[in-house]
Every structure is written in C-alpha cells, then in structure tokens.
Amino acid sequence: MSNFTSTNGITYVLDIKTKDVKAVRELIKYSDGKPVDLFEAAETGTLAAIMHNIALLIDVVFVLCLDQVKENFNLEKYDNENKKTYELRPELELESRLTKASRWFGNSIDGDTVIKIVDAFSEAIVNFIPSESRRQTLQVVLAKEKEIEQIEAELQMKSAERTFQKTKELIIKRWDQISETKQQEVKEILDGQFNSSTNTQE
C-alpha cells in the first residue's frame, strides 16, 4: 500500500476507494469552483492540475486520510498548544473540530513530506484504476511528468549557478575596492555557497 509519514511521526496509508473519490468530489474544489473528481482526472490525464498545486493536493490527501486523521487528532492537546494564537486571533478557537484537524494535519506537512505524498498519491491513484491497461497508461504519463520535472529542476539549478558565477565575477572585478577584512568574509561566503552547490549536484 502507498503511505507517507508526517513530521509528527504519524504514518498515513493511501488506499483509495470509491467512497473516498465521492468524498473528495463533495468537499474539494478547484479555484474555478469545479469539484475535484479523481477518477475523471486519472482518466483524462489531468492529475497534474492536482499534483502541481501543493495546497490543493494536501486538501485532497486530508480528505483521503480523514478517518486516520480523526484517530490521531487530539483536540484538547491542539487547543492547549494554540492558546497564545487564540489570544491574538480568538476566532480560531471557535473553529470546528474538522477545521482544526485540517490545520493540524497541514502543519505536519513539510517539503520532504510533500515529495513523499506526491509519490504515494501517484501510486494510490494508479492502484485505484479498475483496468490494467489504463493503469499502465497512467503509470507512463506520471513517469513522463516526473522526468520533465527533473529536467526543469536541473535547468533551474544551472541558471542559478550561472547567476552565482556572474555575481562572483563582478565581486572579483571590484576586489581591490574591498577592505582585507571584508575580502575574507566575502571569500568564505562564496566558497561556502560554491561547495554547497557542488554537493547538491553530486
């Protein structure tokens, strides 16, 4: 089964059923007000509209994991942890249990978790499709999208490296105008950023 672990150590299993698809369609909408239909998105190859919108994806996954969230969410503990927030924004204390659970869930998702959610969601959607041939087609589509994302990330990295190099060259041209103390500070910063960039590539 597909799963991911939130930052508070809770592991959620994504095992999409028809009732889950109906729940998402009833509760979650795109920005234009249209209901999110997971089956339709899988069939028409438009899952990217969900997976590339992190806020929307987390809302969808929250509904898919709602029963598990309810099992793990402690309202009393949540309210105690947010007393100071309630003092500044008292309207938040009046929110429903479900809304607070949604905030609690969202607060347990960081960047690394989002990556795991994307992979788990992709796998769960593929497993939900009731046709082997369609599953294979969807797997190919999702794999291609992931490949394109990786290429885009590499291009962005190269662009950032070029910008960094130009900045470094500009500083070198003005090196004589910088005091010795500042020269050493700048050198340490540049060396640190360059090494960090190199390690990231490796």
3 alpha-carbon distance from chain centroid:
15
Q: What is the mean pLDDT of residues 76-87?
A: 94
- In sequence order, what are the beta bridge partners of 2? 14
C-alpha 83/C-alpha 65 separation (Å) is 27
CB proximity list for 6: less than 8 A, separation 6 or greater: 12, 105, 108, 109, 113
pLDDT, residue 147, reads 63
H or E stretch at 11: strand 11-14
pLDDT, residue 44, reads 79
Query: Hey, what are 190's tokens?
Result: 């540049």
Whether 200 shows a pLDDT value over 60: the answer reads no
- Contact of 164 with 149, CB cutoff 8 Å: no
- Contact of 16 with 124, CB cutoff 8 Å: yes
pLDDT, residue 188, reads 74
pLDDT, residue 140, reads 66
Query: What does the longest C-alpha to C-alpha distance in the chain come to?
Result: 69
pTM beyond 0.85: no
Structure confidence by residue, pLDDT tens digits, 148-161: 566 665 667 777 77
